[in-house]
Amino acid sequence: MILLEGLSKSFNGVKVLDDLNIEFEEKRITVVIGRSGGGKSVMLKHIIGLMKPDSGKVFIGGVDINSLKKKELNEIRKKFGMVFQDGALLDSLNVFENVAFPLRRHLKLSENEIKDKVYSVLDDVGLEGQDNKMPSEISGGMRKRVGVARALILNPEIMLFDEPTTGLDPIMSDVINNLIISMHNKFKFTGIIISHDISGAFKTGDTVAMLYNGKIIESGTPEYFKNSDNRVVSQFISGSMEGPISI
């Protein structure tokens, strides 16, 4: 479904991605974990074509996206829903209009069709009755849910989540992780989650992969991952200062 092949990217002479290889399975959830500043968001930006690699390829459904013309890339982008780290809501629009935004932009629907779709997805994410609130009036966890609703509204084949639980307390993190699982069960998208929340990764991921020094150094089921004898992986999982990861 999504394949990153030999991806390398440097900024100002510093290699952030270094011959990175990973395949994301169709209709599964893959969680990519790694340290802050390790290149996780950079990897996501390559997947949606917001960044171009110095070398290597990004295949979406067998198509090398960097060989496409702008118009063709825009078509591919419609397959994606993206939940940004900070929610990226439009502060001047209420919850309803934030969620309706992609519909108004991409589809020509009647006002009634828009209402049906928006109310339905707001129900799905547990925000019924919140449609008139402004982003500044709701909690961080609710803003994340608005971000999820907006990403889901075009029923995308692929959902990308950039640190969906960062900045939330453990209980709200669990609520969001459960929401991702139930939305995945309902909509069956191919999911890629970037996270440094280890317990969330084990709970939501069919596959867990670790990005370290610009490469994917381990990848497998949560059970496989937990039992990895890679010392970098075990240090990261245990959150210990002691080990091969330099600080």
Contact footprint for Mg ion (CB under 5 A): 41
**Per CB under 6 A, does 30 bind ligand ADP?**
no
**Per CB under 6 A, does 36 bind ligand ADP?**
yes
Q: How far is the CB of 35 from Mg ion (least distance, A)?
A: 10
Which stretch, 35-43, 115-123, 126-134, 213-221, contacts ligand ADP (CB under 6 A)? 35-43
**Per CB under 6 A, does 224 bind ligand ADP?**
no
- Tokens standing for 153? 């509204």
What are the backbone dihedrals phi and psi of residue 88, each rounded to the nearest 5 degrees, phi first?
Answer: 50, 45
| Identity of the amino acid at 83 | V
- Tokens standing for 177? 């992780």
Strand partners, 80: 158
Site for ligand ADP, residues 10 to 29, rule: CB under 6 A: 11, 16
Q: How far is the CB of 124 from Mg ion (least distance, A)?
A: 26
Strand partners, 218: 210
Which stretch, 31-39, 119-127, 175-183, 231-239, contacts ligand ADP (CB under 6 A)? 31-39
Would you say 193 and 179 are in contact if contact means Cβ atoms under 8 Å apart? no
- Assign 3-class secondary structure to 125-188: CCCCCCCCCCHHHCCHHHHHHHHHHHHHCCCCCEEEEECCCCCCCHHHHHHHHHHHHHHHHHHC
Q: How far is the CB of 40 from ligand ADP (least distance, A)?
A: 3
Q: Which of 20, 24, 38, 141 binds ligand ADP (CB under 6 A)?
A: 38
Q: How far is the CB of 105 from ligand ADP (least distance, A)?
A: 25
Residues that bind ligand ADP in the complex, under the rule CB under 6 A: 11, 16, 34, 36-42
